[in-house]
A and B are shown apart, each in its own frame.
Chain A
Amino acid sequence: MKYESQGIAKMYFIAALGLFLGQIIFGIIMGMQYVVGDFLFPEIPFNVARMVHTNLLIIWLLFGFMGSAYYLVPEEAERELFSPILAKVMFWVFLGASVLTILGYLLVPYARLAEITMNDLLPTMGREFLEQPTITKIGIVIVALAFVYNIGMTILAGRKTVINVVLLTGIIGLAVFFLFAFYNPHNIVLDKYFWWFVIHLWVEGVWELIMASLLAYVLIKVTGVDREVIEKWLYIIVAMALISGLIGTGHHFFWIGTPDYWQWLGSIFSALEPIPFFMMTLFAFSVVNQRRRDHPNKAAVLWALGTAVMAFLGAGVWGFMHTLAPINYYTHGTQITAAHGHMAFYGAYVMVVLTMISYSMPIMRGKKAANETAQKLEIWAFWLMTLSMVGLTLILTAAGVMQVFLQRFSEDPLPFMVVQDELKNFYWAREITGIGFLSGLFLYLYSFFAKGKEVEFEEEQLD
């Protein structure tokens, strides 16, 4: 670790991983409820489990992004963080707010939670992924602004590289687009418009910038390839992500009561959305093939490559599969969407955060790479989690195709619940892959504590 303040990342990563575990446990509970409807009822109803599952995902990814930025930015800017204290205070504020919110979901009925938190004053609750009470949302804004300020001041005062400027652009965008969460028009179509401006412009816009810069940073570190080469890739990826992603929002506006032209704009632009993800794969493959050194942290290299591949599969291929309006006419809101959602979030954002953790955690613990046993376990965990996710995605895809056929495509369509019953076996199989994923996660968490022989390498190879 070159700068002391990089160490702040550690607390963020630990919190992220803790919440990640929670997210997966609730995923498994919910997977069970798909087949055993009253599982854990009335303690944890399905809608609550779902809310906790998705909200935890977003919160822990935010912790992961913040931790990554606090680690990356001082080193790129070549100076200590502007205010380490602010970063630490904001950590506790964010963690407190997150835990209280999740407990609120679990302990009181949602309507009562809305009452307690005085949602009436500024109603923002009740929308998917943005279920947080208004007061939590305000907390998120404060934390995000403090984060942008802290990172921004560090970069302004220090060295500006393409990597940290792209990262800064990404996190400013993240903070700005979240503001749409406070606008909650009565007209439900308008409401959906603005809701997608948060969700879509996050995951298919500014988060891609964050992801690309984190990946570029780790790849520079582990391959030793020239910064100049990597920066050029980054420019192209960012440009393509924005060109395709911004207007690509239209693929969410096909069937919600918006004007027809969205079917054209959404189809054309989102057909191009796989390109930035494909470029990331090409980029990662090529720099790994041209690497100037073999970094002792093999696990981090694997995570970086895995991110590029899985993001392309999950976000690129599985997104493209149902993004054209004539296809989406049949597939919207089916298990195909769920398949895409799972693999895209895992491949792009979960994996990029785990890549950063894999690379930086050993360094923050005082060595270049984790010991051999720990790395072996981590690599096993990588495969267990990744292959479980591939399995889960394929099963949900199959379930989705079945659902589309029976419910929407066939000559005499069946009602929703009848079709769900037909999909029971798929859902059981999905639950098994979920448990596979959880065991991978346990193995991953355990790898941080494993003891073993240190990896041998030549010190002067590394900067």
Chain B
Amino acid sequence: MDYREPKLLPGDLAIWLFIFMELLVFGLFFIVYAVMRIQNIEMFNHYQLTLNRELGAANTLLLITSSYFVVRAVHAIRVDNVKKCIYWIYAALATGAGFLILKSVEYSDTFAAGINLSTNMFYMFYLSLTLFHFLHVILGMLILFAVAIKAQRGAYSAQNHTGVETGASYWHMVDLVWIILFPLVYIIR
């Protein structure tokens, strides 16, 4: 594979392969969830009501906003505005942190109610899916943070900003997964 060809996808091709694999993992997870939900529809519907939809919706907004900030960061670097780029990445990191805080509040309520992976199949899927996504948010933030630090050192410019696009692509993936996860687990009846 020649990595130096004119690109169809922004960022490094490797991150897209990685994103594809990640989506495969989540996709498999979602399919299994959907199948199990159909087989145990009443139980799933019943326990779905115990989830905190308001916090879930707020988190969805936070991630979408955060994705927007990342888009602004990429735009900024494309016109050679390093300062703005860094500023938007930190804004995205802040909203990402907001997601983590709200999700932790939700978890602490859940765990305080004595719920764990073994409680029932619904909670098993809810907890493992969201925890797995939670870890991805942390990973995505680490990647963005690394991009921000490199940007501060002057590594990116209008000509060379593959790194910013790479980090942004991964962050959009994290957002996308939540946008599927939220309705699937919190809303659909």
Chains A and B directly touch (beta carbon < 8 Å):
yes
Q: Which of B9-39 contact A (CB under 8 A)?
A: 12-14, 17-18, 21-22, 24-25, 28-29, 32
Minimal beta-carbon separation of A81 from chain B (angstroms): 30
Instruction: Tally A residues with Cβ within 8 Å of B.
Output: 22
Interface of chain B, main secondary structure: helix
In the complex, the answer to whether A268 meets B22 with C-beta atoms within 8 Å is: no
Give the residues in chain A near B132, CB-CB below 8 Å.
247
A135 CB-CB contact with B under 8 Å? no
What separation, in Å, do the CA atoms of A269 and B24 have in the docked complex? 11
In the complex, the answer to whether A261 meets B28 with C-beta atoms within 8 Å is: no
Minimal beta-carbon separation of A59 from chain B (angstroms): 34
Q: In the complex where A243-B25, A268-B32, A272-B25 touch, is A236 in contact with B14 (Cβ < 8 A)? A: yes
What separation, in Å, do the CA atoms of A265 and B125 have in the docked complex? 9
Q: In the complex where A264-B124, A268-B28 touch, is A228 in contact with B18 (Cβ < 8 A)? A: no
In the complex, the answer to whether B21 meets A240 with C-beta atoms within 8 Å is: yes
Q: Which of A196-243 contact B (CB under 8 A)?
A: 228-229, 232-233, 235-236, 239-240, 243
Of the candidates A232, A264, A272, the one whose C-beta lies within 8 Å of that of B32 is A264
In the complex, the answer to whether B28 meets A235 with C-beta atoms within 8 Å is: no
Q: In the complex where A228-B3, A265-B128 touch, is A260 in contact with B118 (Cβ < 8 A)? A: yes
Give the residues in chain A near B112, CB-CB below 8 Å.
none
Q: In the complex where A232-B12, A261-B128 touch, is A268 in contact with B29 (Cβ < 8 A)? A: yes
In the complex, the answer to whether A229 meets B3 with C-beta atoms within 8 Å is: yes
A77 CB-CB contact with B under 8 Å? no
Chain A, residues 236-266, CB within 8 Å of chain B (1/0): the string is 1001100110010000000000011100110
In the complex, the answer to whether B21 meets A243 with C-beta atoms within 8 Å is: yes
In the complex, the answer to whether A243 meets B22 with C-beta atoms within 8 Å is: yes
B188 CB-CB contact with A under 8 Å? no
Of the candidates B1, B13, B17, B128, the one whose C-beta lies within 8 Å of that of A264 is B128
Give the residues in chain B near A425, CB-CB below 8 Å.
none
Give the residues in chain B near A44, CB-CB below 8 Å.
none
B146 CB-CB contact with A under 8 Å? no
A262, closest chain B residue (CB): B117
Give the residues in chain A near B17, CB-CB below 8 Å.
236
Give the residues in chain B near A264, CB-CB below 8 Å.
32, 124-125, 128
What separation, in Å, do the CA atoms of A244 and B118 have in the docked complex? 22
In the complex, the answer to whether B124 meets A261 with C-beta atoms within 8 Å is: yes
Give the residues in chain B near A271, CB-CB below 8 Å.
28
Give the residues in chain A near B18, CB-CB below 8 Å.
235-236, 239-240
What separation, in Å, do the CA atoms of A99 and B16 have in the docked complex? 49
In the complex, the answer to whether A259 meets B3 with C-beta atoms within 8 Å is: no
In the complex, the answer to whether B124 meets A272 with C-beta atoms within 8 Å is: no
A267, closest chain B residue (CB): B32
In the complex, the answer to whether A261 meets B21 with C-beta atoms within 8 Å is: no
A117 CB-CB contact with B under 8 Å? no
Q: In the complex where A243-B21, A264-B32, A272-B28 touch, is A232 in contact with B3 (Cβ < 8 A)? A: yes
Contacts A261-B124, A264-B125, A271-B28 aside, 6 further interface pairs with beta carbons under 8 A come to A232-B12, A235-B14, A235-B18, A239-B21, A264-B128, A268-B25
Instruction: State the B residues within 8 Å of A (CB).
Output: 1, 3, 12-14, 17-18, 21-22, 24-25, 28-29, 32, 117-118, 124-125, 128, 132
Report, nearest first, the 6 A-B pairs whose CB atoms are least far apart. Answer: A232-B14, A261-B124, A259-B118, A261-B117, A236-B17, A236-B18
